[in-house]
Structure 1
């Protein structure tokens, strides 16, 4: 992760000048301080993207996300701006790419079919299904299935602005709240979410769990994970795609069961 250029006290002073006095120079200083974060996020995100995606475009989207984070961040809540801004930057990059409509509808449809296949088969067999079983269900060869995974890898990226429930207003970003300000309803939802996620992760294959762990918990890039696991980056991308599609299918199933009980 990037190194900060100012001390904590200096940082707080900048935030006070910007938020309390509207000092534009302070805002500019904050943005300049965290610009390396845009490069960091774009470098990680670019690994799983097609080669035709421009890093300059990612950078432009990321800067807009950083500026938005600077506008909306509440420094008095005690949260880390670096973490908040990283999510905003990543979300802005993904949203920017989506608005460019560079992912063909056919690819999105394939992703939906694979996700539904995982959900239906794993609900039926109550275990992690194999590539062969998914291929048979989709009526394609295993080679074609692997190619499909490569095609739809980008669709397994998600934005903070994506709805996580039936209500459009409930997004991942809306769930980023102060640890000290959680209410009982939030804690109940968090409990069931964690419980469902644990069950879903247990259904992943060993390699898929390793990829998820290294990517989201150890903060490694896909290329770094490829080196650790002695696999090609494209294979790591496939494992990541399968893991996310399995998790989406499982979480969708658990959500249905939860609200039907």
Structure 2
């Protein structure tokens, strides 16, 4: 039975049997997401555990899928599957506590400096304020990125659209422009991974799940105007960082 027929049966009855047939049909999608994610994780993270948690994300995606809001199920499901896998990684807490502590310190210092300077701080300035080397700063940021909502990683799978790509023109440019755009996407993915948890969540909800500012405000327990301020600040910060990288 093809996917269209399986979906027709599911929407007609919404029973567990119909849902389970869809789960079996899309199991390869879960394995694919798990395989790509495992490539950036320590060797002791069990691929089978990722797949198992991903299946729960797939079930959630099937039950929540609305074809009127999203025409391609694979794109929608991949986001839910990755999210479930990241939740499992956080529950396992495989990132050392010392790294998490330094990451929180980095976020606090960055917020304080940018509030004082009124602009995005450079990595060199941030490292100097923290009393660490640029290499150490990048190492901390790398570990944080691995468990960020990230799902925002540059290696998002087939059918999944990274946040960076939603910010760009999809018109086909010349080959050099393609290379430059890919590098910008890569840099933006890294920069988003370095944001604080709330800021990453705002980016995810707005650019990936296409939530309105009002919806995000209700989810965060703040006003729509406050979310608008947060979003504007994030755009300025990320643009400043990208300009800094482009300037060398």
Task: Mark yes or no: TM-score above 0.5.
Answer: yes
Alpha carbons of structure 1 residues 87 and 128: separation in structure 2 relative to 1, 3 Å = same
TM-score relative to the length of structure 2 = 0.60
Which of 197, 200, 216 aligns to 2:237? It is: 200
Residue from 44, 47, 57 that aligns with 2:49: 57
Whole-Å separation in 1 of the counterparts to 2:7 and 2:99? 43
Instruction: Using structure 1 for the length normalisation, give the TM-score.
Output: 0.57
Listed one character per residue, the Cα deviations across residues 234-253 of structure 1 (whole Å, up to 9, x for unaligned) are: xxxxxxxxxxxxxxxxxxxx
- Structure 1 residue ranges (4+ consecutive) displaced by more than 6 angstroms after TM superposition: 187-191
Q: Which runs of 5+ in 2 are unaligned?
A: 153-196, 217-223
SS in structure 1 opposite 2:241?
Answer: coil
List gaps (5 residues or longer) in structure 1: 166-170, 210-261
For 1:119 and 1:87, locate their aligned partners in 2 and report how far apart those are by CA, in whole Å.
Answer: 28
Q: Find the partner of 1:71 among 47, 50, 63.
A: 63
1:29 has 2:14 as partner: no
Secondary structure of 1:115's match?
helix
Give, in whole Å, the separation in 2 of the partners of 1:130 and 1:200: 10
* Residue of structure 2 in register with 1:103 after alignment: 95
CA distance in 1 between partners of 2:101 and 2:86 (Å): 18
Q: Which has the higher contact order (CA 8 A, sep 6+)?
A: 1
In 1, Cα distance between equivalents of 2:14 and 2:205: 29
RMSD, matched Cα: 3.8
Given candidates 84, 88, 100, the residue that maps to 2:80 is 88
Partners of 1:130 and 1:113 in 2: CA distance: 16
